[in-house]
Amino acid sequence: MLSFINEIDDPIVQRDILDLNRRILLFRQGQLNEESFRSLRLARGVYGQRQPGVQMIRIKVPMGLLTFDQFRAILDVCDEYSTGKYHLTTRQDIQIHHVKLEDSPELWAKLEASKVTLREACGNTVRNVTASPLAGLDPQEPFNVLPWAEALWRFFLRNPVCQEMGRKFKVSFSSSDEDTGLGVMHDLGVLPAVNDAGELGFKLLVAGGLGAQPAPAEVLHEWVPTDELIPITEAILRVFDRDGERAKRQKARFKFLYQTMGRDALLKEIARERAMPSGAFPDVTHAEHIPSSPATVEEIPAPVGHETWRKANVLAQKQEGHFAVGIRVPLGDETTARTRDLLDALAPYTSETIRVTQSQDLLLPDVVEANLPVVHRILRDLGWDALGFQSGVDVTSCPGTDTCNLAISNSTHLSTVLEHTLEEEFPHLMFDRSFNIKISGCMNACGQHSIASFGLHGSSMRREGATMPAMQILVGGGRRANGEWSFGKKILKLPTKHVPAALRTVLIDFEQHQLPHETFADYFLRVGDRYHYNLLQQHVEGTSEDLYVDWGSETAFKPQIGVGECAGVVIDLVSTLLLEAREKLDLGLEAMQEGRWGHAIYHAYAAQIAGAKALLVKEGEKTNTYADILASFDRVFVATGAFSPEAGSFTAQVLSYLGGANTQTFAEAYVQTAQAFLDELDRHTSTAKAS
């Protein structure tokens, strides 16, 4: 027994960590192939990184909420197993790098002791559920969405419905109809809504996403009662699991399925799945956020620049007399030592909770007004008082070439250069939250460049026989005055060293021609993309030597794209698939023993499909979606008489769960059918081998 495991009281978590440890050993001994191991470790937050032989660990921070003690636990593992530096992400996770694979189970165990998990931080699962950093505090919000966000992420953690989908699924909660949680770019965006009768509910947006083919989310429901949220989400996930593309990774996100099936068909499928829920759903009750009192209230004279700091970084909460303090973290990168000092100094004056924001910053909620000066002084003395929280000067950037395999040109150094340019030349942007800059190292858009006023993604261009680091410029993304979202339009590609000058040109033009109170997104729509294409032409040319050297580098640029961590690829060996089918069935049998009938049924469902896929792969048949597998199996094996399911067809057999009931009797019968089917598959494959 590994000693660190004893610190964990939850047997399910214990098993998870032991399982990761066991699989690492099997992998090292060559008994587990690389692709299977990769999909397992990704679903446990263990990623590869640009530097070989070490791992990036993604620590899940649901809704970005942390107590100081949880944050300290993260800092401790970061010191012990990583480099003492961490990164706040645009999805409110915390990432640490350069971790040895063998250390990951112990690291995970230490985090779990503080109720922090790695489970389903990556992989084809429901990823970290994010929320507006102001959820529960926002004066504009109709009610606090956090209890539902909490219930939703817990409900889907380890839930069989979403362990091996075709692709990841991202959910966000906004605090108000202003979509403060960026639902527009999520697979599912949840916004609080109150109907005419005064009942609490949610507006649901679906099928948004960024990446190479960005799509804004569309309204699925203007209002559903709060207790429908989790059942509808379960139904959507089941539809995605069954009909979503699995083979072509670049077409596998939910947005592509939605684009093919459309809203009406999705609603019909949801209704069909809703008729057979997996079991009881959590009962969530409405509760408003109540700030806890700080241990100390200490009134001191306001530090120099206090009013400016309040204007640029402090937001009034809906709880009277309480304020949320924004703390800018440039690039989302920080050190453990500085953070520990900060938490220790702030602890007496705060509620000892903190939030990670989608802008890669931190937010300190619940500061009472009398403590604002002392909090300001602490931030200033410890060097955390940069002005302009979530403002025009607060540039968002993915880690890019620093650590990511897929990055093309540098995003982080450029981000720092742009922040300095703005702070010096456009300081008024520190108070402007309607203009923003976001940078990604490649078109995957982890830095959310598509929703920025001025967005950039890494690229390269050939000039005079050599390759130059470049940035694709997108302009005009963001929220318009009427509340609608625009995604940025691709304008042109520039040498990356010309980006600061291009930004200057765009801003000067905007400030000269903007109508009173016109947002940048509205201005862009008025003048059009051709206008910006012409405006930026002056920055395209150039062949000076410096243009061939990327930001932060001293040598000539060499594009070096590694292989991305592909959460979707599992090697399609027939025996591996059959083994996986058995593993799924075992999980189903275990769920039966524990009386989880709905889970047992879903595992048995997935087991049959995995088994059928094994045979189809052997025949070279298409297995892009679960729905394809059902149809192909009937065509290739049932119509030819090789298999004769009692239900008449394999599809009818597998989908019989939809007409079933969530009872022991039905689950027993369904699991038995699955078991008999897998036995028959084994007989079939061994006969085929023998002949």
Q: Figure out which of the listed residues 64, 209, 216, 365 binds ligand HEM, where binding follows CB under 6 A.
A: 209
Angle at 133 between CA 150 and CA 61, to 5 degrees: 50
**Pick from 678, 486, 461: nearest CA to 582:** 678
Helix (H) and strand (E) counts in the chain: 19, 22
Q: Is 395 in the site for ligand SF4 (CB under 6 A)?
A: no
Residue 273's φ and ψ, nearest 5 degrees, are -70, -35
Q: Is 331 in the site for ligand SF4 (CB under 6 A)?
A: no
Q: CB of residue 403 vs ligand HEM: minimum separation in angstroms? A: 7
407's contact among ligand SF4, ligand HEM, none, with CB below 5 to 8 A by partner kind, is ligand SF4
Q: Figure out which of the listed residues 237, 346, 398, 678 binds ligand HEM, where binding follows CB under 6 A.
A: 398
478's contact among ligand HEM, ligand SF4, none, with CB below 5 to 8 A by partner kind, is none
**What is the secondary structure of 367-435 as a DSSP string?**
EEGGGHHHHHHHHHHHT---S-TTSTT--EE--GGGT-TT--S--HHHHHHHHHHHHHH-GGGGG-SS-
Of the listed pieces 147-155, 397-405, 454-462, 650-658, which binds ligand HEM according to CB under 6 A?
A: 397-405
91's contact among ligand HEM, ligand SF4, none, with CB below 5 to 8 A by partner kind, is ligand HEM
Per-residue tokens: 44: 């446990």
Q: CB of residue 404 vs ligand SF4: minimum separation in angstroms? A: 3
- Residue 130 in contact with residue 93, Cβ under 8 Å? no
Q: Compute how many other C-beta atoms are within 10 angstroms of the C-beta atom of residue 447.
A: 30
Residue 488's φ and ψ, nearest 5 degrees, are -60, 150
Q: CB of residue 62 vs ligand HEM: minimum separation in angstroms? A: 15
**What is the secondary structure of 49-114 as a DSSP string?**
-SSTT-EEEEEB-GGGEEEHHHHHHHHHHHHHHS-SEEEE-TTS-EEEEEE-GGGHHHHHHHHHTT
- Residue 393 in contact with residue 42, Cβ under 8 Å? no
Closest to ligand SF4 by CB, 49 vs 632, is 49
Per-residue tokens: 323: 């304020």
Closest to ligand SF4 by CB, 226 vs 459, is 459
Q: CB of residue 407 vs ligand SF4: minimum separation in angstroms? A: 3
Closest to ligand SF4 by CB, 124 vs 350, is 124
**Pick from 80, 154, 74: nearest CA to 116:** 74
Q: Is 219 left (phi over 0), alpha (psi -120 to 50) or beta?
A: beta
Closest to ligand SF4 by CB, 447 vs 495, is 447
Site for ligand HEM in 217-246 (CB under 6 A): none
- Residue 527 in contact with residue 517, Cβ under 8 Å? no
Q: CB of residue 50 vs ligand SF4: minimum separation in angstroms? A: 9
Closest to ligand HEM by CB, 121 vs 502, is 121
Closest to ligand HEM by CB, 47 vs 156, is 47
442's contact among ligand SF4, ligand HEM, none, with CB below 5 to 8 A by partner kind, is ligand SF4
Q: Is 89 in the site for ligand HEM (CB under 6 A)?
A: yes
Per-residue tokens: 227: 């207790």
Cα(436)–Cα(476) distance, rounded to whole angstroms?
A: 10
185's contact among ligand HEM, ligand SF4, none, with CB below 5 to 8 A by partner kind, is ligand HEM
441's contact among ligand HEM, ligand SF4, none, with CB below 5 to 8 A by partner kind, is ligand SF4
Residue with tokens 């009134």: 299
Closest to ligand HEM by CB, 209 vs 388, is 209
Cβ-count burial 632-651 (b if 16+ within 10 Å, e if not): bbbebbbeeeebebeeebbb
**Pick from 59, 75, 58, 47: nearest CA to 116:** 59
460's contact among ligand HEM, ligand SF4, none, with CB below 5 to 8 A by partner kind, is none
Q: CB of residue 213 vs ligand SF4: minimum separation in angstroms? A: 14
User: How many positions of this chain bind ligand SF4 (CB under 6 A)?
Assistant: 13
Per-residue string for binding with ligand SF4, 340-379, x by CB under 6 A? ----------------------------------------
Q: Is 399 left (phi over 0), alpha (psi -120 to 50) or beta?
A: alpha
Q: Name the H helices within 399-543.
A: 412-425, 499-513, 520-527, 529-536
- Residue 339 in contact with residue 354, Cβ under 8 Å? no
Site for ligand SF4 in 432-491 (CB under 6 A): 440-442, 444-447
Site for ligand HEM in 539-568 (CB under 6 A): 564-565
Q: Figure out which of the listed residues 131, 327, 331, 407 binds ligand SF4, where binding follows CB under 6 A.
A: 407
Q: Figure out which of the listed residues 44, 91, 328, 480 binds ligand HEM, where binding follows CB under 6 A.
A: 91
Q: CB of residue 399 vs ligand SF4: minimum separation in angstroms? A: 6
Site for ligand HEM in 146-175 (CB under 6 A): 170
**Pick from 363, 249, 350, 357: nearest CA to 293:** 350
Site for ligand HEM in 273-332 (CB under 6 A): none
Cα(355)–Cα(137) distance, rounded to whole angstroms?
A: 12
253's contact among ligand SF4, ligand HEM, none, with CB below 5 to 8 A by partner kind, is ligand HEM
Of the listed pieces 246-254, 340-348, 370-378, 400-408, which binds ligand SF4 according to CB under 6 A?
A: 400-408
Cα(456)–Cα(408) distance, rounded to whole angstroms?
A: 12
Closest to ligand SF4 by CB, 351 vs 440, is 440
Please, which residues bridge with residue 606 across strands? none
440's contact among ligand SF4, ligand HEM, none, with CB below 5 to 8 A by partner kind, is ligand SF4
Per-residue string for binding with ligand HEM, 493-532, x by CB under 6 A? ----------------------------------------
- Residue 167 in contact with residue 253, Cβ under 8 Å? yes
Q: Is 47 in the site for ligand HEM (CB under 6 A)?
A: yes
Cα(60)–Cα(95) distance, rounded to whole angstroms?
A: 9
Closest to ligand HEM by CB, 451 vs 494, is 451
Q: Figure out which of the listed residues 105, 123, 166, 400 binds ligand SF4, where binding follows CB under 6 A.
A: 400
Q: Is 404 in the site for ligand SF4 (CB under 6 A)?
A: yes
Cα(120)–Cα(152) distance, rounded to whole angstroms?
A: 14
Task: List Cα–Cα distances, 415 to 28, 430, 456, 502, in angstroms.
Answer: 39, 16, 10, 14
Q: Is 105 in the site for ligand SF4 (CB under 6 A)?
A: no
410's contact among ligand SF4, ligand HEM, none, with CB below 5 to 8 A by partner kind, is none
Q: Is 448 in the site for ligand HEM (CB under 6 A)?
A: yes
Q: Is 350 in the site for ligand HEM (CB under 6 A)?
A: no
Q: CB of residue 251 vs ligand SF4: minimum separation in angstroms? A: 17
Of the listed pieces 14-22, 258-266, 445-453, 679-687, which binds ligand HEM according to CB under 6 A?
A: 445-453
Per-residue tokens: 53: 């032989």
Task: List Cα–Cα distances, 622 to 106, 354, 616, 639, in angstroms.
Answer: 41, 48, 7, 17
Which parts of this chain interact with ligand SF4 (CB under 6 A)? 398-400, 404, 406-407, 440-442, 444-447
Which parts of this chain interact with ligand HEM (CB under 6 A)? 47, 56, 89-91, 95, 170, 185, 209-211, 253, 398-399, 404-406, 444-446, 448, 564-565
